[in-house]
Structure 1
Amino acid sequence: MAGGNAIRGTRVGAGPMGEAERGETAPRRRIGFWCTQGHETRVAFASDADVPDLWDCPRCGLPAGQDQAAPPPAPRTEPYKTHLAYVRERRSDADGDALLEEALAKLRSRRGA
């Protein structure tokens, strides 16, 4: 017995889809991008759209360019720096020694030694 729904398995607005209902598609052009791993990505752009110089490769995430013979280099990643490394960039060893002596002097004066 039917559940009282004569239009089963459809949704509102469903029907034969075609260009008559959606309108005509814009003219497009496909542009190829290559990364350093040799992956090719073909992206469709509207014919009057500005094409970017770089595109992220969906496979490896590296930047890809339009020149297959000379793809853009992989970005250089900076190694992780500790807090001490940042402090050493800002201060010299002499500054560090002076600060250490000052802190030790305060500590010794509080202890009464």
Structure 2
Amino acid sequence: MANASNPFRGIRIGSTSGAGMAGWQAETGRLPVGVHKVAVTYRCPQGHETTPVFADLAEEEIPECWDCPRCGRTGSRHLDAAYAGTRAEPYKSHLDYAKERRTPAEAEEVLARALGELRRSRGETS
């Protein structure tokens, strides 16, 4: 129900204008065109399956391999065999890379310096 003081009007879902189109379709006279999509399944050497969706591409345009979002290894489109060109190094998280950059002693020093600055900014005495 619409109120005269309320600028929002109630409209039924799926209602159309007199031309048979609603909203931007009625204004422009254009109809939306759907894009055909193709789901492609990739399997990594550990058996994880990933199914990205691509726009309708030619067969040669769809990638043969895809990185697994779970383990980081390279998966193949061919479900019977895993991709032969797997990575030499396993998947590493951000923390793994951070641990490679510093020794435990350096990490302790950085942590102590950061805690000291935090305490100083709060006006705490140690």
Query: What's the TM-score, normalizing by structure 2?
Result: 0.41
Task: Indicate the structure (1 or 2) with the bigger Cα radius of gyration.
Answer: 1
TM-score normalised per structure 1: 0.45
